[in-house]
Amino acid sequence: MNCLSNYLRCSALRYSRSALLLFLMLLAGSAVAQQRGLSPRYQDANDDLVADNPALKEDWRDPRILVFAYTPVEDPALYARVWDDFIQHLSDATDKEIRFFPVQSNAAQLEAMRAGRLHIAGFNTGSTPVAVNCSGFVPFAMMAGENGQYGYEMELITYPGSDINSPEDLRGKKLAFTSPTSNSGFKAPVSILEGEFNLTAGVDYESTYSGSHDNSILGVVNGDYPAAAVANEVLKRMVGRGVVSESQYRMVYRSQTFPTTAYGIAHDLAPALASKIRAAFFDYDWEGSALAAEFADAGMSQFIPVTYQEHWSLIRDIDRVNDTTYYCD
């Protein structure tokens, strides 16, 4: 069984009373043991929970062309233009040709890095643990505001005039998720609905999948879904671009703050190349760029250093409550 199909199998919800109690403890900020699940194809000698660079120089990769992919969105062509200036900056910094890979799904992005076809990527919050453990992804950056603030919240939204005014009103209704690998689009809302509101997916409400936050938002606005679980940073950007307006949806629940998209590289890139890529993220000038314009509504204006071990601790806790494992062959 391959990594991704096994992950999806393991993400089935198998709750118990002890898991629900643990969930409430996590909301209160209680610490729990680190979850481990790195594929045996990778090494982690320094216990930082991500794959080490190969010990043998002959196992390092230094491709002539580097492929970059941003997390799946409704309009990949739009985001290819958004990232154009940054990609040119990255090309200048590495002296490499950089190609933008417009991924259509989380699965495609995960498998591309696992297979060695993807070198630099932004993985969404929920799929980052899968990318780290099953695809050898090494996160090192995240977007943040001017003062270093970062993160987003999961929101449950519905359309104006619906009879859904709180999460309890989802009972007997359909709720749109994005994909099983998404934090705000699946894992967090399912955990919260179970732990806080005693609503179990597939029992108390019907689940459907849209494929992306953009699709979920547009589905609610157009009346295709009664409600959806989305990342509010995507919602803010769509409002900022004029794709939707605040009058076209209502928020009925907002979660605590989660880390946003993780940016990083494949674990086996040559150290000198990896160093140039990291530096390019942190010395990029956002002022006047398409990137700054696109993410301004979400308050983002720079890349800041992050580690998977520290910044994704809460996300691993949520996965643990969901009884998710990252077993990869």
Question: pLDDT tens across 206-217, in order?
Answer: 999 999 999 999
Q: Which fold has domain 3-44+54-149+260-321?
A: D-Maltodextrin-Binding Protein; domain 2 (3.40.190)
Structurally, at CATH architecture level, domain 152-258 sits in 3-Layer(aba) Sandwich (3.40)
Distance, CA of 285 to chain centre = 24
User: Does the structure show a pLDDT above 80 at 34?
Assistant: no
5 falls in which pLDDT band (50, 70, 90)? very low
Query: pLDDT value at position 244?
Result: 96
With tokens 């993400």, the residue in question is 11
Token pair in block for residue 77: 């062509």
Which of 189, 7, 9 has its CA nearest to residue 110? Answer: 7
Q: How far apart are CA 159 and CA 250, in angstroms?
A: 6
Token pair in block for residue 7: 């992950």
The count of C-alpha atoms lying within 13 angstroms of the C-alpha of 271, restricted to the half-sphere facing its C-beta, is 7
* From-to residues of CATH 3.40.190.10 in the chain: 3-44+54-149+260-321, 152-258
Judge contact between 134 and 113, C-beta under 8 A: no
One-letter amino acid at 54 equals P
User: Does the structure show a pLDDT above 50 at 325?
Assistant: yes
Query: pLDDT value at position 327?
Result: 64
Q: How far apart are CA 213 and CA 217, in angstroms?
A: 6
* Residues in Cβ contact with 223 at an 8 Å cutoff, skipping those fewer than 6 apart: 159
What long-range pairs does 196-204 form, CB within 8 A, spacing at least 24? Answer: 196/167, 197/167, 197/168, 199/167, 199/168, 199/170, 199/171, 200/13, 200/15, 201/13, 201/175, 204/170, 204/171, 204/172
18 falls in which pLDDT band (50, 70, 90)? very low
16 falls in which pLDDT band (50, 70, 90)? very low
Q: How far apart are CA 93 and CA 315, in angstroms?
A: 32
Question: pLDDT tens across 51-77, in order?
Answer: 999 999 999 999 999 999 998 876 777
One-letter amino acid at 276 equals K
Question: pLDDT tens across 80-124, in order?
Answer: 899 999 999 999 999 999 999 998 888 899 999 999 999 999 999
Query: pLDDT value at position 158?
Result: 98
Query: pLDDT value at position 74?
Result: 67
Which of 224, 174, 228 has its CA nearest to residue 202? Answer: 174
Query: pLDDT value at position 172?
Result: 97
Judge contact between 26 and 317, C-beta under 8 A: yes
Beta bridge partners of 121: 69, 264
CB burial of residue 1 (10 Å; 0-12, 13-18, 19+): exposed
> Which stretch of DSSP H or E encloses residue 265?
strand 262-266
How is the beta sheet containing 137-144 ordered, strand by strand? 97-100, 65-69, 120-123, 262-266, 137-144, 302-305
Please state the rounded mean pLDDT for residues 243-254. 97
> Which stretch of DSSP H or E encloses residue 82?
helix 76-82
How is the beta sheet containing 152-158 ordered, strand by strand? 206-209, 174-177, 227-231, 152-158, 250-258
Please state the rounded mean pLDDT for residues 15-30. 34
The DSSP output letter for 205 is B
Question: pLDDT tens across 128-185, in order?
Answer: 999 999 999 999 999 999 999 998 899 999 999 999 999 999 999 999 999 988 889 9
Question: pLDDT tens across 268-312, in order?
Answer: 999 999 999 999 999 999 999 999 999 998 899 999 999 999 999
